[in-house]
Structure 1
Amino acid sequence: MVGFRLFDGEPERSPQVFQIRGNIRQPVFTCKFSFRNSGGDRNQLSRSSQLESSSSRSWLSSLASERERSGRERKGWSITVHDLSGSPVAVASMVTPFVASPGSDRVSRSNPGAWLILRPGDGTWKPWGRLEAWRERGGSDGLGYRFELMPDTNGSMSAAGIVLAESTLGTSKGGKFVIDTSGFGRSTPANSSSPACSPRCSGDFGYGLWPYCMYRGFVMSSTVVGEGKCSKPVVEVSVQHVNCTEDAAAFVALAAAVDLSMDACRLFSQKVRRELCQRRQDLLG
């Protein structure tokens, strides 16, 4: 069986998430999009503003430099998934900025941006998965991605992860982000640079861990629309992989991170949506 969950708006607009059962829509989560450390940035802006009266030219020059720097990177995005009681149950946090490669206006495969998907546990947040994304070059001009499951190693970040999905989504038409391990050992799908169905790792650790991993068969999928289109992801999750609210929330957070990566990997010669511009948020705050 598969459970369906629908975002009622774009992830960056802090939407609700509904569970779909036939013709019944039942709210299950709320999402809150925010910028990390925005308070510190706002304080920095205030200090800069105080200098305007004494040195307007210097301040304007500094602001122009800041705008140029911020125009070459997208960072600090975060989306927190809350249950209906308001308790946070999953987080997708941008841990590596999406930065234009030198001499280019795109995020390269050799230097991808990254998200960490976190779940609550033992009174703290624990890493569950890591999503990397970049902009493919050449005729495909797609969103490349790689998702790896992070073993529970008591908070250690040194252990190798298990790659559960690695492929490309079209930037114009979008597609589906899929985790499906049912084809492990079979032929590689034609549209995958590395099969999403073939768990792998850079070291023996991953192969040794895989037989004990709970994620087998179809795990989840999420719709992703093309650039510039209104995105309301539809998430399908195999019910055998959902044993608690936090399980479902982690997949919802991952779906949001994939969707937001389409904007994060937008060419830097193009603007992102106003909700994703931290400087605008700080000025309005």
Structure 2
Amino acid sequence: MDPCPFVRLSVGNLALKIPVASKPARSVVHPSSSQCFCKIKLKHFPIQTAVVPYILPESHDGPLQTLAATFNLSKSDLEKLANKFPFTSAKLCLKVSIYTGRRGTNCGVNSGRLLGKVSVPLDLAGTESKPCVFHRGWIAVGKEAKGSSAQFHLIVKAEPDPRFVFQFDNEPECSPQVFQIQGNIRQPVFTCKWRSDATFC
């Protein structure tokens, strides 16, 4: 039996550039001296959090090749996401919220300060059979004037990730039976029965 179709949606190579003001306010903590992080959200999936490395604006170094978040999509997940906007022109998007400051909460209040949000449109059709890159590069974030806003780098891509799916049936501790699953098809691949009066040395 063939493996079940799965798609791995990954987000990586995160980086942040923020221009340094000529006369920075005393109350503002620049990201170069504090932590930055982001929250990555895909509909119907738990929010994932990742650290965002800071790169100096004048630096010519590229973002580090690191994986920040992964969403493993089954066939049913893909169908659910595809039917999210059946009667509108709206598109499925991966949403990223970028924060400056430390992760976590302080007295029940989020300690990070929201810097900006990024939305990457997704079209997952056909990704079960071929990879697709939805975004690769820098995006302006924040409310500053054009040319002086913060820059956020990320790569969002989907790749086929077929898997064999197995399921236990009956009572595993007494008479385990293993089925290979593909859609609504269940094919037995292993069966074993234990004797209640068996003696083990």
Normalization by structure 2: what TM-score?
0.31
Greater relative CO, 1 or 2 (CA 8 Å, sep 6+): 2
- By percentage of residues, which structure has more strand? 2
Q: Normalising by structure 1, report the TM-score.
A: 0.24
